[in-house]
Amino acid sequence: MSSTENYDIIVVGAGVVGLATAYYLQKNSPNKTILLVDRLPAAGQGNTAMSAAAVRNMFASSTNQLLTDSSIKFIEHIQEDLHFDLTFEKCGYLWLLSDKQFTDPSVKMWMQRMTASGIKYTAYDKHQLKKIIPSLNVDFTGDEEAQLMNLQEVSYGLFGPDCGVLDPTKLVDFYLQEFTKLSKVKPRFGVEVKSLLLEADPRLDLPGEPLIWQNKRVNGVRTATKELRAETVVLATDAWTNRLLDPIGFDSETKAKKRQLFVIHAAEKKPLLDLLYTRGFSSRASIPFTILPSAGVYFRPQLQEKGFWVGCADKVGRAYDYVQTDSYATAEMAYYENSIYPVLAKYFPVFQGARPANSWGGGYNYSPDAIPFAYKESGFMVVNGTSGSGIMKADAVARIVDALYRGQPEAELFGGKRMPSNALSMKQRKVEIESVII
């Protein structure tokens, strides 16, 4: 190594979670020197930029409800009170459900928990849905192809009015701006962390340290040219976390999976424009972010582009750990044509013949219970496992990491509600398993 630098805290990862974490750490520990590093050329260019950038508080777990509801309220605060435009649009979320799904006890529990937590939602039957969305197909009678594809008819819909979509790059810009106002150290981009600096504690300068009988701690990171040392290293690397933790033998208990988005333009096709500008769900003339009953297919409105972003939360069949090959940014056209499109066109025939004008890929980092991790170990902290919900949980999770760093028993989230700072830890975890994921 050509040189060594020393800091109080190094935050690795400048996605929305890493930026929010760096901001709250610096805000509440103003005398600390905090270095933010990312391997990409600018902030928020990884999975944050590649996400569907939708936010919802419609979760079954009260933990996820609290994380998302407070974060969404802070997003509203940024846009409405601080006048920092995030292009946040409350178009809502619409879960389309079959009769079997709607009457499932887990869905009933989901609705009960939302009611208990004050999460707003409205239930629609298929006749009401058909009246608002005339192009929605709610009848597969005699459709042998739909039966072969295991598609379930739409019987109900659950609509969340406080959900919506935003521009992820603008949310990144907000946190970066606020962090750099406070920070004594300029963030560094285009700097890849190659490994964690795991050392014996205390160091005895013996050959082969750290040895198995020695205590160990992370004292910094290595790049291609430097050792960057710090009292605390915060890993906000999400889908890439295992690249750094596996070599030191620490199990993050998370796995990454590829997700893809395809852009469908509606400007040249009136039926698609009519669907895009659907009225009746909210004050906005927009179809909500919509999740279909089968195959994990969903779409979000993109009013600025006059189109839709279409994706799929596939389960079995898509391998984990794809990030080892760095192929995350490439979408697979055959995946759209053979898997997504046939499902989409069955439920919404107005998509027939629609072909993507653009596409990209990104990564979700799943935890076993679909609730984030935030914990402190010897010399390092980890915030990951957002399970595709990083943007909608970033503010709350970052506040929890900051409270944990400062040794506070509780974190105060936006709006005044509190959560134990160790609630998202591995060893003292206080959460419920999330059943409503996409």
Do 147 and 236 share a domain, yes or no?
no
pLDDT at 333: 95
Phi-psi bin for 273: left (phi > 0), alpha (psi -120 to 50), beta? alpha
Would 401 be classed as within a structural domain?
Answer: yes
At 125, which CATH number?
3.30.9.10
* Res. 63: pLDDT tops 80: yes
Strands 289-291 vs 3-12: parallel, antiparallel or unpaired = unpaired
- The token duo for 129 is 């849905």
pLDDT tens per residue across span 330-347: 899 999 999 999 999 999
Segment (H or E) for 360 = strand 358-366
Q: What is the share, in percent, of the chain residues with pLDDT greater than 90?
A: 90
Would 63 be classed as within a structural domain?
Answer: no
How far separated are the first and last CA of the chain, in Å rounded?
Answer: 44
- How much is the average pLDDT of 209-229? 96
pLDDT tens per residue across span 399-408: 999 999 999 9
Would 432 be classed as within a structural domain?
Answer: no
- The token duo for 125 is 């039957």
pLDDT tens per residue across span 162-209: 999 999 999 999 999 999 999 999 999 999 999 999 999 999 999 999
Do 360 and 282 share a domain, yes or no?
yes
Judged by average pLDDT, the poorest of 78-82, 227-231, 325-329, 384-388 is 325-329
Distance of CA 303 to the CA centre of its chain: 21
Look at residues 366, 385, 410 and tell me which one is the last residue of a structural domain. 366
* Res. 237: pLDDT tops 60: yes
Residue bearing the bigger pLDDT, 321 or 256: 256
Would 114 be classed as within a structural domain?
Answer: yes
- What pLDDT band is residue 318 in, cutting at 50, 70 and 90? confident
Look at residues 366, 398, 430 and tell me which one is the last residue of a structural domain. 366
Segment (H or E) for 97 = strand 93-97
pLDDT at 355: 95
Q: What is the share, in percent, of the chain residues with pLDDT greater than 70?
A: 98
* Res. 324: pLDDT tops 80: no
pLDDT at 10: 98
pLDDT at 268: 76
For 297, phi and psi rounded to 5 degrees?
Answer: -80, 140
Q: How far apart are CA 158 and CA 320, in angstroms?
A: 30
Do 210 and 101 share a domain, yes or no?
no
pLDDT at 2: 59
Do 290 and 341 share a domain, yes or no?
yes
- How much is the average pLDDT of 41-50? 93
Do 277 and 360 share a domain, yes or no?
yes
pLDDT at 38: 97
- What pLDDT band is residue 26 in, cutting at 50, 70 and 90? very high
* Res. 329: pLDDT tops 80: no
Would 82 be classed as within a structural domain?
Answer: no
Would 70 be classed as within a structural domain?
Answer: no
Segment (H or E) for 6 = strand 3-12
- How much is the average pLDDT of 77-106? 97
* Res. 315: pLDDT tops 90: no
- How much is the average pLDDT of 306-329? 79
Q: How far apart are CA 157 and CA 126, in angstroms?
A: 7
Q: In a 3-state reduction of DSSP, which class is residue 200?
A: strand
Q: How far apart are CA 68 and CA 65, in angstroms?
A: 5
Do 304 and 347 share a domain, yes or no?
yes
* Res. 322: pLDDT tops 60: no
* Res. 303: pLDDT tops 80: yes
* Res. 276: pLDDT tops 80: yes
Q: In which domain, by residue range, is 195 found? A: 3-51+170-254+369-420
* Res. 210: pLDDT tops 60: yes
pLDDT at 284: 84
Do 155 and 262 share a domain, yes or no?
yes
- How much is the average pLDDT of 277-302? 95
Q: How far apart are CA 156 and CA 101, in angstroms?
A: 9
- The token duo for 159 is 């609509």
Do 259 and 156 share a domain, yes or no?
yes
- What pLDDT band is residue 77 in, cutting at 50, 70 and 90? very high
Do 414 and 400 share a domain, yes or no?
yes
pLDDT tens per residue across span 97-109: 999 999 999 999 9
- Please count the CA atoms within 13 angstroms of the CA of 229 that sit on its side-chain side: 8
Look at residues 343, 366, 389 and tell me which one is the last residue of a structural domain. 366
> Whole-prediction pTM value?
0.95
* Res. 88: pLDDT tops 60: yes
pLDDT at 31: 97
Do 270 and 357 share a domain, yes or no?
yes
Would 86 be classed as within a structural domain?
Answer: no
Amino acid present at 362: G
Do 147 and 224 share a domain, yes or no?
no
At 388, which CATH number?
3.50.50.60
Give the number of domains in the chain.
2
Do 133 and 199 share a domain, yes or no?
no
Segment (H or E) for 18 = helix 16-28
Would 165 be classed as within a structural domain?
Answer: no
Average pLDDT, rounded, for the chain: 94
- Please count the CA atoms within 13 angstroms of the CA of 124 that sit on its side-chain side: 20
Within 10 A of 75 (CB to CB), how many other CB atoms are there? 22
Segment (H or E) for 196 = strand 195-200
pLDDT at 325: 53
Closest CA to 385 of 246, 260, 261, 253: 253
Q: How far apart are CA 92 and CA 118, in angstroms?
A: 16
Q: In a 3-state reduction of DSSP, which class is residue 75?
A: helix
